[in-house]
Amino acid sequence: MTASKSSRARQARARQAQAQRSQASTASTRNGSAARNGSAAAGRNGTADKAGTLVKAGALVQADSTSRAVAPRGGGVDRRGSRSPIREASADLEAPATTTVPLWFQLVTWILSLAGLGVSIYLTIAHFTDKPLAGCSESGLVNCTKVTTSPQSYVFGIPVAVLGLAFFVAAVALMSPWAWRWARREVALIRIASLVVGMGFVLYLLYAELFTIGSICLYCTSVHAITFLLFVLTIFAAAAWGLPGRQRS
């Protein structure tokens, strides 16, 4: 009876130990599966992160390539032949629609031209009618008649008074506000060239009066002074506000 009880007790302990081992094995198996699932998920997440990083990097590279193709260095024309906005803006600045010379400056040059035209008309009339110039001395250093009737009063067979009249007719047109607002480069260049030629004649006539004739004419001197002022103002306008840009086709 005692031996039988001992045998049953040993069997019970053996079954209990086996059950504990079975439970431990089952738990270990579950933990391993969970760990493998976690590793697999982490691997998948890492792969997804790498793929996302590669996609972002590829998008950045593609965007950078596109920007380089659209905006080449120097702001010129891209590979597709379209003009850059920077070049378009600079071209618009080079060819302004209107001049920037202020209105008061335009009026000053125009009034000076009208004054020169009036004096030239009077000198031309006096030349062809042989009338003495009003208010001008006939002796000494100031002698208008001696100057206007001298051989130097003709250039290439043309009376200097007529040349002055033609010059100021052109000056009135070129110095008018409408001509200043007409943003044509050719008009600005003709204006400057005409004043350069006019100053050349002024220097010649001054030399003739002072060193050849030995007398001066007040009316002629006023014409010389007006021409000089127009020359200075025109050069100043070109230096301060520039010339209109070339017209684009």
Place of tokens 């431990």: 24
- Whole-model pTM: value is 0.60
Torsion of CA 20, 22, 28, 30, to 10 degrees: -120
Per-residue pLDDT, 138? 78
What are the pLDDT digits (tens) for 131-160? 889 888 777 889 998 999 999 999 999 999
Q: At what angle do helices 103-129 and 218-241 cross, to 10 degrees?
A: 150
Per-residue pLDDT, 245? 76
Q: Of 70-84, 115-129, 131-145, give the lowest mean pLDDT range.
A: 70-84
Mean pLDDT of 179-198: 94
Please say whether the beta carbons of 117 and 171 come within 8 A: yes
Please say whether the beta carbons of 217 and 136 come within 8 A: yes
Please say whether the beta carbons of 161 and 145 come within 8 A: no
Question: Confidence class of residue 84 from pLDDT cuts 50, 70 and 90?
Answer: low
Mean pLDDT of 30-59: 45
Per-residue pLDDT, 136? 86
Q: Measured in whole angstroms, how far is the alpha carbon of residue 10 from the centre of its chain?
A: 107
